Structure formats: C-alpha cells, structure tokens
C-alpha cells in the first residue's frame, strides 16, 4: 500500500498545487472539510488589504480597490466551480444567514403552500433555520431522509410542499445525493428546491445551472480554504432574481444605497442578496485563497478525490479489523471528499490521532471523519492515517 501510494502521488497531476499551501511540517491534515488549510496567497493578500488598502487607502479603498463590488466579483470567481453563469452568486454573511434569506424568499414565491420539507440528515443549522423561517412565515417543517426523497419523490413531496431543502453531501457520512433527480422531482410536484452545497463546492463539479436549481447556498471555509468564518455564498439563477424577495433588506442590497432614501428598493441582480456591510477582510482573504484554484480543473479535483477516498478505504479494509471498524461512506462514486468510519471509542481514538499529528474529526455518536482535499492531500497521507489508525485500534 505504501508503494502504491508513492506511485499514485508520482502520477498525480495536481501534486504541484500542494506547494500553494502553507502547511505545518509533519502534520497530516484530514480536516479540510471543516476548515480548509491556509493558501499562501490568502495570507499575502490579507496583509496587503490590511496595510496598504485599509492603512493607506482608508475610505477611498471602497472604490479604488473595488471593495463595494467585491461580494459579486468574488461570487463570479466561485461560479465556475458550481456550474453557474456569471452574475448569479454573491458572497456575504454566513451559510446560516443565507439559508434564512432563501427559505423566506422561496416561501414568498410559493405562497399557497405552507410546508418546508427538510433533509433529515442535513447539517443542523439548516434545520434550525428552516424551523425559524417556517414559524415566521406561517409554515411548518417536515423532515425526510434524502434516500426516500431520491427513491420516491412523488409520494414524499406533497401538494402543500413549498420548498425542499437538501444538503448535497451528507456532512456525517459523505453520501452524495442526486441533484438533477431530486430537483426535477421537486419541480414536477410544484415545489422549489434549495441545495446546500457546503461540502460539494471545491470537491467536485456542481452543475447548478444545468440542474435548474432554484436556490443554493454554500460555505467557503471548507474546500475553498477561505479561512475561519469566511463569508458564505448565495446563488439565485437569473430568471428568479427579479422576484427574489429576501427578508434581510439592509442598505447594501438597496438599488441606490447612497441616496440614503427613506424606503427600500431592491437592487437589480445579485446585490439584492446582500444585507449590511460585508466582512471585507474575510472576503478578500477568500479572494486570495481562490488563487490556489488558478488553472485547476474541477474535473481533475473530482478524479483525485474519488481516487484518494477510494485508496483510503482500501487501506482501512486492509489494515483495520472489520469487526471493530465500519466504513459508513458509500463505496461507489456517490460520495464527497470524505470518508467516515464508525468504531467504539471514536472520540478517544481521534484524540490519540491528533496527538500524533494526524488531524481528522469526531462527530457524535461514534463517527471518525476524514476529509481529503485534493489540492493539498497526498496518497501517502491517506496511507499514513490508515496505518496509524490500525495501530491505535488493534
Ligand atoms: C459547514 C456547513 C454550514 C456552515 O454554516 P455557517 O452558518 O456558515 O457556519 C452550513 N451547512 C452545511 C451543510 C455545512 O456543512
């Protein structure tokens, strides 16, 4: 296995991209699905933004350095990774806040229906936000396993369903759900659909336009490496933008913000997805971080992601006792860039791994999660992690 890892690394077309990251020596970092590693360009960009743009340019930088338009400009840089034409993504606020905006907007677009259908395996914040949006708009929520949604949509999506909210990749198991199939079924049943692509953006090609997705939100501090708390993004296809009536109508989403007018008039285009002042330092650190993607084809990232996770599963099968460790991530290609294992005492095992500089994470009740970011993880890292796990478990 060690030999195979070396061969795979030697043949890896993305291997040189690793040098674009500032990684701590001797650490194997398999938690890039929670907080991406630091791209060197993010650090240098942030330094320039703080010292020169802010320090010297002061308030002039809102215009001289394009701060005002940055949420849409950075959104257009993310667009190619999620299969969106330009002018449909804005970067601002957190994923949670953007979920709230699109949930309320979707309800307003489908006012005769009063149910929000949510993914029972979704990231908790999605459900929390859906419950609040439902309370505020006089709707109710119902949660359903995405497998049932994929298998039998006509039975699940009802005449009362206004909107369906699904996580593209299950954050716990890494299972990948069928975006074209579920979207088409929701539309056939008269419902809108919101996809949370937090764990798929930067992991594999997402095809928002091609799948006719109504709304999408996603996180930038995972596989996009934007840094802790970097702002999230929000996608609204062009044909829905004029009717996109989001509830957090701050002045940055106003048609003429500097008129200081007494009443709200929404901006045209994706600026209407904004609220108040953007978190400019985080946003521009993300802008720098996205340089790590220059010249990188997302199809190559997918190919390597499948190979890396597949190789790690092979190592687990070979090196770990199958009566103690179960791979809960799908073994076919229907998975994101993570492998999750269940094992008794998972929390203590992860602590021991981290103490030995192999960083993954633990999710209750008994899940060990390993994220494989193809831009900077090597096959040798996957082997090393599985070998260490083998020593700790047996
Ligand atoms: C990480 C993640 C989020 C993050 O939400 P924030 O409000 O940006 O912290 C939301 N949804 C999913 C599915 C995630 O994986």
For 107, the 3-state DSSP assignment is helix
Cβ contact 101:276 at 8 Å: no
CA of 35 to the centre of ligand 1 (A): 11
Cβ contact 312:339 at 8 Å: yes
- For the Cβ of 126 lying below 6 angstroms from any atom of ligand 1, the answer is yes
376 is catalytic: no
The reported pTM is 0.97
d(CA 360, CA 353): 8
Which atom, in ligand 1's list, is nearest to the CA of 94? Answer: 8
Q: Of the residues 18, 107, 222, 272, which is catalytic?
A: 222
d(CA 77, CA 87): 10
DSSP string spanning 222-276?
STT---TT---EEE--HHHHTT---S---GGGBSSGGG--SS--BPSGGGGG--S
Cβ contact 207:175 at 8 Å: no
Q: Could you tell me how far CA 307 lies from the centroid of its own chain?
A: 20
Instruction: Identify which of 92, 125, 228 to mutate to test ligand 1's pocket (most ligand atoms within 8 A of the CB).
Output: 125
Q: Which residue, by CA, sits nearest to atom 6 of ligand 1?
A: 95
CA of 16 to the centre of ligand 1 (A): 29
Residuewise pLDDT in 10s, the chain (394 residues): 999 999 999 999 999 999 999 999 999 999 999 999 999 999 999 999 999 999 999 999 999 999 999 999 999 999 999 999 999 999 999 999 999 999 999 999 999 999 999 999 999 999 999 999 999 999 999 999 999 998 999 899 999 999 999 999 999 999 999 999 999 999 999 999 999 999 999 999 999 999 999 999 999 999 999 999 999 999 999 999 999 999 999 999 999 999 999 999 999 999 999 999 999 999 999 999 999 999 999 999 999 999 999 999 999 999 999 999 999 999 998 999 999 999 999 999 999 999 999 999 999 999 999 999 999 999 999 999 999 999 999 7
CA of 75 to the centre of ligand 1 (A): 17
d(CA 10, CA 15): 8
Which atom, in ligand 1's list, is nearest to the CA of 95? Answer: 8
Angle of helix 40-48 relative to helix 280-289, nearest 10 degrees, comes to 140
Sequence-distant (6+) residues with CB within 8 A of 233 are: 75, 78, 89, 90, 91, 92, 98, 201, 217, 218, 220
CA of 125 to the centre of ligand 1 (A): 7
User: Which backbone phi and psi does 210 adopt, to 5 degrees?
Assistant: -60, -35
Six token digits for residue 209: 């336009």
């Amino acid at each position: 296995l060690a030999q195979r890892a070396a061969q795979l690394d030697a043949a890896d077309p993305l291997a040189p991209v690793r040098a674009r990251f500032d990684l701590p020596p001797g650490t194997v970092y398999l938690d890039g699905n929670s907080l991406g590693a630091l791209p060197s360009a993010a650090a240098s960009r942030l330094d320039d933004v703080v010292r020169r743009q802010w320090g010297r340019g002061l308030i002039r930088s809102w215009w001289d350095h394009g701060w005002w338009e940055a949420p849409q400009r950075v959104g257009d840089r993310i667009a190619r990774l999620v299969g969106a034409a330009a002018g449909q993504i804005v970067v601002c606020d957190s994923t949670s806040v953007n979920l709230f905006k699109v949930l309320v907007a979707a309800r307003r677009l489908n006012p005769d229906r009063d149910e929000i259908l949510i993914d029972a395996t979704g990231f908790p914040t999605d459900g929390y936000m859906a419950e609040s949006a439902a309370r505020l708009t006089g709707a109710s929520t119902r949660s359903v396993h995405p497998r049932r949604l994929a298998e039998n949509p006509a039975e699940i999506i009802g005449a009362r369903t206004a909107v369906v909210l699904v996580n593209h990749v299950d954050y716990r198991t890494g299972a990948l759900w069928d975006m074209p199939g579920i979207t088409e079924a929701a539309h056939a049943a008269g419902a809108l659909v919101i996809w949370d692509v937090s764990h798929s953006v930067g992991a594999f090609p997402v095809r928002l336009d091609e799948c006719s997705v109504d709304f999408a939100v996603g996180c930038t501090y995972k596989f996009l490496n934007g840094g802790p708390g970097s702002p999230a993004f929000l996608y609204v296809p062009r044909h829905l933008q004029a009717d996109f009536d989001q509830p957090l109508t701050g002045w940055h989403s106003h048609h003429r913000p500097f008129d200081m007018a007494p009443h709200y008039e929404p901006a045209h285009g994706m600026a209407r997805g904004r609220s108040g002042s953007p978190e400019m330092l985080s946003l521009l650190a993300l802008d720098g971080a996205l340089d790590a993607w220059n010249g990188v084809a997302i199809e190559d990232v997918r190919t390597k992601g499948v190979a890396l996770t597949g190789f790690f599963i092979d190592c687990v099968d070979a090196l770990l006792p199958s009566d103690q460790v179960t791979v809960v991530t799908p073994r076919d290609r229907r998975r994101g860039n993570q492998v999750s294992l269940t094992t008794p005492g998972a929390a203590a095992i992860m602590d021991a791994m981290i103490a030995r500089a192999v960083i993954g994470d633990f999710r209750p009740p008994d899940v060990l999660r390993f994220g494989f970011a193809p831009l900077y993880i090597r096959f040798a890292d996957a082997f090393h992690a599985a070998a260490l796990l083998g020593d700790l478990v047996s």
